[in-house]
Amino acid sequence: MKHRIVVLGAGYAGAFAAGNLARRLSPADTEITVVNAVPDFVERMRLHQLASGQDLALRKLADVFAGTAVRLRLARVTGIDPERRTVAVTGEDGDDELAYDTLLYALGSSVAHHGVPGVAEHAFDVTGRSSALRLRERLAGLGAGGTVLVVGEGLTGIETATEFAETRPDLSVELAARGELGAWLSPKARRHLRRAFDRLGVTVHEHTGIEAVEPTRAIAADGSSIPADVTVWTAGFAVHPIAAASGLEVAETGQIVVDRTMRSVSHPDIYAAGDCAYAIGENGRPLPMSCASAGFTNMQATAAIIARLTGGKVPAVGLKYYGNHISLGRRDAIFQMVDGDVRSKAWYLGGKTAARLKSGVLKGASLGIAHPTFGMPKRRRRLAGATERSGVKAAA
């Protein structure tokens, strides 16, 4: 019987991982199934561009995995039974269960409301394609002089505010920051960021925590209100509670606690990658939820799965966070390197060169998804013991 590998989620972490597993494991011994709720790959790093009106090319997951031996199951995950090694799903064909021998959990994250009243009812976000399209429709119907308030001074908030300001100069774009704008950046990069905000006409409300969102305004912690025809909530991410509800050991964030190889510390046949993994980096701190972390964790998880299944030594993939790459519209960006303690280094790259670099990163990620088994070896690794039973010599 083939070893059943089930990958939950086909975002950056899940899609790359499925392709890597298919590229390196023999289909004679393994059966790889990817479960995803929607039929298209979602370029999450560009959803603020989609919301602003830019059309992004859709990549059908069926086309992505065509010819790879990866099975695609379009369904929503509703639960996991780690004792029975099954995943409960629901889709167009109704409810079903999928059995697994190895599970890779890569369901990503969604917007974190933090319990703030009115966010769920009145705010928009750019953490999913459907929510970005909903915001796109609202912005398209907003006439000149309309006001857009972006809540959150993190990378998503900055990219969203600058994208909207550049694309829609007829709107008044504002950003509410709990602290100082770009406080984590080096002094020179911070000045670059402020110049970009000034150039694009983005108004910043620093040291302004938002305590409630209403249809036409946001209420700050000091009781003052900020008028807004549209409020975009970018104040953090949250993971789905399925992992915790299934009995896996999770952190306070709900992320699955994993060891250095991305293996669940409570259930050794389950691995996690991407935003849903509580992984400790080389600096002793949890990796941040980011596309970069998705890359590191999925490479480590797949390397560990392959090594353990084929009887090899588990390699250690570097888990070091190198820096932040922030788009400031289409023609400007900041690339800020950080040290081992995640403190910004004095050097940074900004302007058109940084923007071209960011564009290259986005294109590279898209091409990687489009060709998940690029460079597939002629012979792929057999599982430990399988070659002896079949009499076939194992590939190197």
- DSSP states of 339-375: -TTSPEEEEEEESHHHHHHHHHHHHHHHHHHHSTTTT
**pLDDT score of 371:** 74
Per residue of the chain (396 residues), give pLDDT as tens.
899 999 999 999 999 999 999 989 999 999 999 999 999 999 999 999 999 999 988 899 999 999 888 999 999 999 999 999 999 999 988 999 999 999 999 999 999 999 999 999 999 999 999 999 999 999 999 999 999 999 999 999 999 999 999 999 999 999 999 999 999 999 999 999 999 999 999 999 999 999 999 999 999 999 999 999 999 999 999 999 999 999 999 999 999 999 999 999 999 999 999 999 999 998 888 998 888 888 899 999 999 999 999 999 999 988 887 888 999 999 999 999 888 777 899 989 999 999 999 999 888 888 877 776 665 555 577 898 764 444 444 333
Strand ranges, E, within 2-75 = 3-8, 30-36, 40-41, 59-60, 70-74
**pLDDT score of 377:** 57
24 to 29, 63, 90, 362, 365: CA distances (angstroms): 12, 20, 30, 25, 20
Report H helices in 278-331. 291-310
Q: What's the pTM? A: 0.92
**pLDDT score of 389:** 40
Q: Using CA atoms, how far apart are residues 218 and 213, in angstroms rounded to an integer?
A: 4
Alpha-carbon radius of gyration of the chain:
22
